[in-house]
Every structure is written in structure tokens, then in C-alpha cells.
């Protein structure tokens, strides 16, 4: 089911778009499908966005959605569950932005911009997310298009992608998923400190008193998310004055950090050196990245 096209060398996406080698240009094909109007079953492309820093994830999510306003956004976050009866101590918050939603009488909590909070009852956060995404896809009014799913801090996308692909193949969804792409958000300003952070990853909470910790270290999670991703969406360094870097020293520092990111990533992954210049349609039409699951 999973198809991982090979590439002779890494492809980078910068200010002028993707720059591929000659061999990659021969291999990379645009596989977007033109489904006829007679096909009543909607076809969907999914992008799963991961990350270890909430602010970076949110910034990339906003940028991607701004590039394709017709897309649907499903965003997950985690918060401490204050219910004494809660076994996990965690709540999952799901927020949907669906420009095509037109049914105000629906009671499933799927209105545009509405957030729904539920206790974590699955065995793990990954299982809870993948099951809830499948249920949400069944509830969203059927229409073809692109869906960006932003996963909670630290959740890996590969297992989620495989579960959703299986659901689609088995006919368990109201839509047909054509392809699923795993992308991760990396902020260069915090990248190195997170990479070498041996403390456990904070997945919820705003202070030490209410922090909920992952069993893995922050650095391990950062490395794993970069390694599994087919697209690494990088937020560039920002100078102390709030502007984009311009000095020679700052530019060299950015290149050094991008070299580390490149070494951690899959050899076939595409490094987008400025996430704000990457549009969502580029991700869903690119089959050269390693994590593209084509259903």
C-alpha cells in the first residue's frame, strides 16, 4: 500500500520553489487526479503535520491554510484533564475549520471553528488521534478537496497515515483518500536547543506544575519526526530586531542548521527552507517524498 519512490539526491525548496536534480525531474510526476463529476464519492488528499514546538506548528499550519483557503483544517491539541476520574489525565482538543460547512443544525461539533474536548480513553495519544480523525472524516460533509490535519505535539504521523489508508481501502470512510503526506514543522530558532534537549518532551501544560510529559526525550522526538517526514517545513531564523536574517554571519548559521536538519531527514525527503513560501497544493501534488502513502 505504501509507495516510496526513490530519488538520487535530496531536493530543496527555497524562495524560488523546488530545485530537483535532472534524475529527480524525470522521476517526479504530478499525480493529482481529475475525478469526473459523475463520481459521487468524494476524493480527498491528506497532509499530516507534526512537530515538537506548539508555536512553530501553529505558524506553519496558518501559513499552509493561507496558501489554500479552500482546504479543511483539523487541528489537535492536548491539555491536562482536571477530571479526578480521568485515567490518563489528558484531554484531546479538536478544532475544525471547514470553509465548505453549511449545515448549522449538525450537533456533532463540526461547525466551522468549533472546538471539541474529550478525555483520552485510548491506550495512547497516537491511537486516540487516528481513531478520532477517522470518525471526523466520516462526519464531515462529503466533498472532494484537501485536508490538513495538525497532530498534537510529539505524535508521529506514519502510524496515523497507515491507519487512515487502511480505513479508506476497507471502505470505512465516506470519502476516498487518494494520498497522505507526512510533514513536520521545524523552527530554526529553537531547533538546536530542542535537538540536544535530554529532558522529557512537554506535550501539555503551561508550567512545571501542570506539565504533562512524554516518556521520550525532546531530542529523540525531534529526530524521529524529522526522519519520518517526507516534507520538512522550516521556519527560518529571525534576527533580534524581528526581521529576517540578512548578515553574512546569520546566513552561515542558517546554512549550518539546515545541514543538520538535512542529515537527520530521510534521503528522499524535501527540505523546504522557508515554510512561508510553501503552499499546500505543492505538498499534495508531490510524490517524490518518502512518506507519501498512496492509497
65 vs 247: which has the higher pLDDT: 65
**C-alpha distances in Å from residue 182, one per residue of 89, 254, 284, 289:** 28, 24, 10, 9
Q: What are the pLDDT digits (tens) for 91-147?
A: 899 999 887 655 555 544 444 567 888 888 767 899 999 999 999 998 877 778 999
**58 in a structural domain:** yes
**28 in a structural domain:** no
**20 in a structural domain:** no
Q: What are the pLDDT digits (tens) for 176-187?
A: 999 999 999 999
CA distance linking residue 216 with residue 63, whole number of Å: 29
Rounded to an integer, the average pLDDT of 24-44 is 51
Q: Sign of torsion, CA 133 52 243 47?
A: negative
Task: Name the residue with cell 501539555.
Answer: 204
pTM (predicted TM-score): 0.81
264 vs 4: which has the higher pLDDT: 264
CA distance linking residue 169 with residue 167, whole number of Å: 6
Q: What is the pLDDT of residue 209?
A: 73
DSSP state of 20: -
Total domains in the fold of the chain: 1
Task: Name the residue with cell 484531554.
Answer: 91
Strands 231-235 and 270-272: parallel
**32 in a structural domain:** no
Is the separation of the CB atoms in 96 and 150 below 8 Å?
Answer: no
Strands 90-97 and 115-119: antiparallel
286 vs 237: which has the higher pLDDT: 237
Task: Name the residue with cell 516518556.
Answer: 215
**255 in a structural domain:** yes
**22 in a structural domain:** no
Is the separation of the CB atoms in 151 and 46 below 8 Å?
Answer: no
DSSP state of 286: B
Q: What are the pLDDT digits (tens) for 207-252?
A: 677 788 889 999 999 999 999 999 999 999 876 655 656 566 778 8
Mean residue pLDDT of the chain comes to: 80
CA distance linking residue 30 with residue 37, whole number of Å: 21
| Domain, as residue range, for 62 | 43-294
CA distance linking residue 58 with residue 62, whole number of Å: 6
Q: What is the pLDDT of residue 5?
A: 33
Task: Name the residue with cell 472546538.
Answer: 115
Percent of all residues in the chain with a pLDDT value above 70, rounded to a whole number: 74
Q: What sections of the chain are H helices per DSSP?
A: 22-27, 54-67, 125-139, 157-169, 188-195, 218-228, 248-264, 280-284
Is the separation of the CB atoms in 85 and 58 below 8 Å?
Answer: no
Q: What is the pLDDT of residue 199?
A: 93
Query: In CATH, what number is assigned to the domain containing residue 57?
Result: 3.40.50
**14 in a structural domain:** no
Candidate from 6-20, 151-165, 181-195, 207-221 with smallest mean pLDDT: 6-20
Helix axis angle, 218-228 to 157-169, nearest 10° = 40
CA distance linking residue 219 with residue 197, whole number of Å: 5
Amino acid at each position: 500500500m505504501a509507495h516510496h519512490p526513490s530519488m538520487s539526491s535530496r531536493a530543496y525548496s527555497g524562495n524560488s520553489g523546488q530545485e530537483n536534480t535532472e534524475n529527480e525531474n524525470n522521476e517526479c510526476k504530478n499525480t493529482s487526479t481529475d475525478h469526473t463529476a459523475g463520481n459521487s464519492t468524494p476524493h480527498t488528499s491528506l497532509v499530516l503535520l507534526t512537530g515538537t514546538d506548539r508555536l512553530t506548528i501553529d505558524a506553519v499550519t496558518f501559513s499552509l491554510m493561507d496558501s489554500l483557503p479552500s482546504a479543511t483544517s483539523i487541528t489537535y491539541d492536548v491539555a491536562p484533564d482536571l477530571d479526578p476520574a480521568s485515567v490518563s489525565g489528558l484531554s484531546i482538543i479538536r478544532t475544525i475549520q471547514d470553509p465548505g460547512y453549511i449545515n448549522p443544525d449538525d450537533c456533532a461539533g463540526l461547525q466551522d471553528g468549533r472546538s471539541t474536548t474529550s478525555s483520552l480513553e485510548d491506550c495512547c495519544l497516537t491511537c486516540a488521534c487516528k481513531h478520532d480523525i477517522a470518525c471526523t472524516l466520516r462526519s464531515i460533509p462529503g466533498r472532494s478537496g484537501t485536508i490538513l490535519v495538525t497532530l498534537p505535539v510529539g505524535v508521529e504521523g506514519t502510524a496515523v497515515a497507515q491507519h487512515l489508508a487502511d480505513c479508506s481501502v476497507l471502505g470505512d470512510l465516506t470519502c476516498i483518500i487518494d494520498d497522505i503526506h507526512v510533514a513536520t514543522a521545524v523552527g530554526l530558532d529553537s531547533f538546536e536547543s530542542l535537538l540536544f534537549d535530554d529532558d522529557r518532551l512537554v506535550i501539555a501544560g503551561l508550567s512545571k506544575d501542570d506539565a504533562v510529559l512524554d516518556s521520550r526525550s525532546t531530542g529523540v522526538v525531534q529526530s524521529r519526526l524529522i526522519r519520518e517526514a517526507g516534507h520538512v517545513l522550516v521556519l527560518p531564523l529571525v534576527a533580534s530586531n524581528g526581521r529576517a536574517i540578512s548578515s553574512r554571519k546569520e546566513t552561515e548559521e542558517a546554512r549550518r542548521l539546515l545541514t543538520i536538519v538535512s542529515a537527520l531527514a530521510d534521503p528522499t525527503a524535501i527540505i523546504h527552507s522557508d515554510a512561508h513560501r510553501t503552499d499546500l497544493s505543492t505538498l499534495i501534488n508531490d510524490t517524490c517524498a518518502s512518506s507519501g502513502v498512496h492509497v
